[in-house]
Structure 1
Amino acid sequence: MPRTVRLLVAARAINRLGAFSLPFLTVLISADFGASVTTAGLLSAAFGLATIPSRLAGGRLATRIGRRRTIVLGLTGCAAAQLGIAAAGSLVAVAVFAVLLGLFFELYEPPSQALIADAVGPSERVRAYGLFNAALAAGGTGAGLIAASLGRWDLRWLFVVDAATCLLCALALRLALPAEHTDRSALRTPGTAEPVRPWRDRALRAVFLSGTLFALVTTQITMGLPLTLARRGLEPADAGLLFTASAVTVVASQPALRLRRLASLPDSAALALGHVLLAIGLAGYAVASALPAFLAATLVWTLGDVLILGRVLTVVADLAPRGGADRYLAAYGISWGIATVVAPVTSTQLLAHVGVGALWSGTAGLCLALAAAQLLVVEPLVRPVRERRAAPGGTGVAPRRTAPR
């Protein structure tokens, strides 16, 4: 992998190692300020909503002030907001800094993902994005241990240490990433007078819709698994063991992405296979009653997750016209902000009204529907655009008379 990719992967792992404070935000709000669970949930939802414009701003700022500056701004802003939460003396102050954290939280993603897309050839993007996601998983395995030790002492220190890792990453990337000259022409599609507008791209809209449902499924797992264990008579904290097993599986499975049979699969087939594996794993949750069964199901859906995460970012990067990767990746990334807001509601309401079996059976059915839609709906829209982008000398831009209005 090129130096830029290795730098971003290493920085990602360091940053993730400290990214353990957010799950404890609701606990801090309730314990230190006596707020109700409902109030704590609303503040967490406000954070999730703030990440949506943050992702869009990350794509715009990357083309206006440069990717390195945007990355540093995002990490530094996160650090300042987290220190504000740690020092807050009132619930209002915590709410303000939580929203501020959301507004900076996703600035990092579009420029870092676009840097990876530009640093490697199309054939290597799947592996590069796989390493990027593996860095998240690797850092996450240590993050839980740090959170367990610091959290017993004082929850506010979680936000202080998280801020320190953000500042460390910002400094490292500021010194290591090359400076760049921003070009306002990157805001326009090459070969036309039209600005780059991702939402006018039908292929991207199809990928975005599929990606939003995938993000909803993934976030629902995080929210619903501890509650599911409790309803099965198991210890909810054992969800931490299952998530650690999932993270280890993400890291350990990276070499498999280079196997010839897997690497040669068309992206549509790989994405469909990933959704099928997700469905099998989540169907396992519907019938599991003992921890080993939950562990086996977790390993299966994690393999599907690995297939999807590396491939889908590659598809989005390939859809983007020259100079438009930041904006396309930012637009696609909104799917995770939507999932962060919706999943806590859907997972708890479904558990309360239809139970464990129906929750996970229904989610597995949704994954099977996504697998079919990937082959029958999304791929026919995506393939012509990608072929046009890849054509020698082609910009992938349709003639002006056929451009959507």
Structure 2
Amino acid sequence: MSDTTRTRPAAKSSRMSAALGLPNLKGNEKFLAANLIDSLGNGTMLAFQIVFFIMTTDLNAAQVGGAVTAARLISLPAPVLIGPVMDRFGARTVMTGGNVISAIAFVGFLAADQIWSVIATGLLVQVGSSMFWTAQGALVGLAAQGADRTRWFGLIRVLRNIGLGAGGALAAAALAIGGPSGLTWLVVLNAVSFAVAAWLIHTWRVSDRSPGPTAPAEAGTDGTEGGSGREAATYADVLRDRRYLTLVAANLAFVLASMVLSILLTVYVVEALDEGAWLGGVLLLINTLAVIFTQTIVTKRTERARPVTVLATAAAVNAVAFVAFSLVGAAPDGLVLAGLVAATLIFTLGEMLSAPSMSELSVTLASEAARGRYLGLFQLSWGVGMAIAPVMFMTLFDVSSTLPWLVLAGLMLVTIPLLLMLGKDRSHV
């Protein structure tokens, strides 16, 4: 077989990858696998953590729920503490350490039988996850080498949706087939898989290809050399960066928006629309499948646009979706299902537009000298948003079933001028 014949399948595969909006994966298979493992692990944890402790300890549901909530609240400042560590030792070390801590946490699940130990193991899980996601942006920049970073963020979002969905299904299957024993074996599998992910990141080396023209300097964040060699900035310097604080504030609004499907939508469907709870699950499935099959294509279509423009568009699309959700309650019975599906698809488009561009800006606008601290502050906005979303949504819902949607729509509209302000000084944002 001639060299020309052998290269045809590779060229065809490359063209297909480009058409699907996939980044160049050569040399980054370990990084990709570690991301999938983390997503699967988080998917199983979200699905079984509370059930596991209820079924394997003498604690009741209220005690377990309180312990898990306490662990999440205690872990909120973790990204801010992780930032300086990342500036000192590098992103690879932080992500590797995060996976090791997660593996230890799941081993701890097997021995936890008191409230304090459930809190301790839950705290370790949250810290491990925070370490992983705080280091994520810097390592995506290393994998992409400036060539297709936005596509990488889009692909990681696809992997996260696959992992969360598959992890939840795996947990449900383990419980249905094996009961408590099935969940115990799932915990063991999680511990092993996170240990494997730590090895993958520790041994991953980037393929030798020239950085693109917009490649960031990764000496301080690739994890291979530790610090950048420059004097690291402090959090006081980060907090004086008004542009980045504006980005963090905008991200908090998008985090709150991202919580509606998992927290608000099913409550709205059941309590306000008097429909079955199954419908909320179907709408979430529609969202998940749309992201899995179209996220990378949407990212490819928008990668030449300025990220702030894409984000402002995403905020407008989200506002439309939230207004649509609020109007479904006044629709005739025959249009409720169609209205919910349409609103969900519009919301999903907003999500697909915002996620890669926001991640891109979180790295682009971060100072190289303190990228760990910048990304730690950015990751903190995720923790805060996820913590306040339930109480915010339910408090507004108690006043009126449409009020949460209208407040979120207003929040998205207020975010648009903030985002556009970010693009005034630098053309690449």
- TM-score range normalised by the length of the shorter chain: 0.7 to 0.9
- Indicate if the aligned counterparts of 1:109 and 1:330 stay in contact, CA closer than 8 A: no
The partner residue of 2:324 within 284, 290, 294 is: 284
* Matched residue, 2:16: none
Structure 2 vs 1, CA of residues 237 and 109 (structure 1 numbering), >3 Å: closer, same or farther? Answer: same
Deviations 1:225-260 (A, max 9, x none): 22222213333244333223212212222123222x
1:83–1:187: structure 2 CA closer, same or farther, 3 Å change rule?
A: farther
Partner of 1:246: 287
Of 182, 187, 191, which residue of structure 1 is paired with 2:226? 182
Question: Hey, what does 2:419 align to over in structure 1?
Answer: 374
Identity of aligned residues (%): 22
Q: 1:354 aligns with which of 388, 395, 399?
A: 399
- Specify whether residues 291 and 34 from structure 1 end up closer, same or farther in structure 2 by C-alpha distance, changes over 3 A only: farther
Alignment check: 8 A CA contact 1:196 1:324 kept? no
Tell me how far apart the structure 1 counterparts of residues 75 and 231 of structure 2 sit (CA, whole Å): 22
Correspondent of 2:127 among 100, 103, 117: 103
Mapped pair 1:15 → 2:7? no
- Pairing 1:126-137 to 2, within 5 Å after superposition: 126-137=150-161
Determine if the alignment matches structure 1 residue 80 to structure 2 residue 120: no
SS in 1 for 2:139: helix
State the match for 2:339 in structure 1: 293
Alignment partner, residue 400 of structure 1: none
Whichever residue aligns with residue 60 of structure 2, its letter is A
3-state SS of 1:78 partner: helix
Residue 240 to residue 143, structure 1, CA distance change in 2 (3 Å):
farther
Aligned 1:102-181 pairs, distance under 5 A: 102-120=126-144, 122=146, 124-152=148-176, 153-154=179-180, 155-177=183-205, 180-181=224-225
Root-mean-square deviation (Å):
2.8
Q: Is the 8 A contact 2:31 2:204 kept in 1?
A: no
- Contact 2:315–2:416 (CA under 8 A) maintained in structure 1: yes
Deviation digits for residues 300-329 of structure 1 (CA, Å, limit 9, x no counterpart): 111111111111121121212334333322
Mapping for residues 34-45 of structure 1, pairs under 5 Å:
34-35=59-60, 37=62, 39-45=63-69
User: Using the alignment, how far apart are the partners of 1:216 and 1:187 within structure 2?
Assistant: 35
Residue 248 of structure 1 aligns to a residue whose secondary structure is helix
Corresponding residue for 1:207? Answer: 247
Conserved? CA contact 1:286–1:357, under 8 Å: yes
Q: Residues 210, 42 of structure 1: CA spacing in aligned structure 2 closer, same or farther, 3 A cutoff? A: farther
Structure 1 partner of 2:364: 318
Question: Do the aligned residues in 1 keep the contact of 2:161 with 2:291 (CA within 8 Å)?
Answer: yes
Shift of 1:23: 4.3
Match in the other structure for 1:272: 312
- Residue type at the aligned position of 2:224: E
Instruction: Give the TM-score normalised by the residue count of structure 1.
Output: 0.83
Counterpart Cα distance in 2 of 1:369 and 1:304: 16
Q: Distance in 2 between matches of 1:327 and 1:258?
A: 30
- 3-state SS of 1:89 partner: coil
Distance 1:371 1:330, change over 3 A: same
Mind listing any 5+ residue stretches in structure 1 that lack a counterpart? 391-405
Residue 41 of structure 1 and its aligned partner are, at CA, apart by 4.5
> Which residue of structure 1 lines up, in the alignment, with residue 5 of structure 2?
none
Counterpart check, 1:258 vs 2:304? no
How far, CA to CA, are the matches of 2:415 and 2:71 in structure 1? 28
Q: Give the Cα–Cα distance (whole angstroms) in 1 for the partners of residues 282 and 187 of structure 2.
A: 23
**What's the CA shift for 1:345?**
1.2
Q: Deviations over 1:152-200 (max 9, x none)?
A: 32255554433333222122222324671223634526xxxx8893222
SS at match of 1:284: helix
Classify 1:200/1:296 alpha carbon distance in 2 versus 1 (closer, same or farther; 3 Å): same
C-alpha distance in structure 2 between counterparts of 1:224 and 1:158, whole Å? 29
Q: Is the CA contact 1:126–1:310 (under 8 Å) kept in the aligned structure 2?
A: yes
Q: Which moved more, 1:77-86 or 1:121-130?
A: 121-130
Compute the displacement of 1:291 (Å).
4.2
How many angstroms apart in 2 are the aligned matches of 1:364 and 1:222? 17
Label 1:10 to 1:104 Cα distance change in 2 as closer, same or farther (>3 A): closer
The number of equivalent residue pairs is 376
SS at match of 2:275: coil
Matches of 1:216 and 1:243 in 2, distance apart? 16
Once the two structures are TM-superposed, the CA of residue 297 in structure 1 deviates from its matched residue by 1.8
The answer to whether the 8 A contact 1:70-1:111 is kept is yes
Query: How far off is 1:117 after superposition?
Result: 2.0
| Per-residue CA distance 1:119-148 (angstroms, 9 max, x = gap) | 435563222211121211122231222122
Show the counterpart of 2:379: 333
1:9 and 1:40 map into 2 onto residues whose CA distance is 34
Residue pair 1:51, 1:105 contacting (<8 A) in 2 also: no
**Structure 2 counterpart SS, 1:346:** helix
Check conservation: 2:80, 2:376, Cα contact below 8 A: yes
Cα distance in structure 1, aligned partners of 2:41 and 2:387: 23
**Contact 2:235/2:373 (8 A) holds in 1:** no
Cα deviation for residue 96 of structure 1 reads 2.0
1:295 shift after superposition: 2.7
Would the aligned equivalents of 1:58 and 1:330 in 2 still touch at CA under 8 Å? Answer: yes
Question: Which residue of the partner structure matches residue 402 of structure 1?
Answer: none
Maintained 8 Å contact 1:282/1:364: yes
Deviation, structure 1 residue 335: 0.5
CA distance in 2 between partners of 1:69 and 1:125 (Å): 21
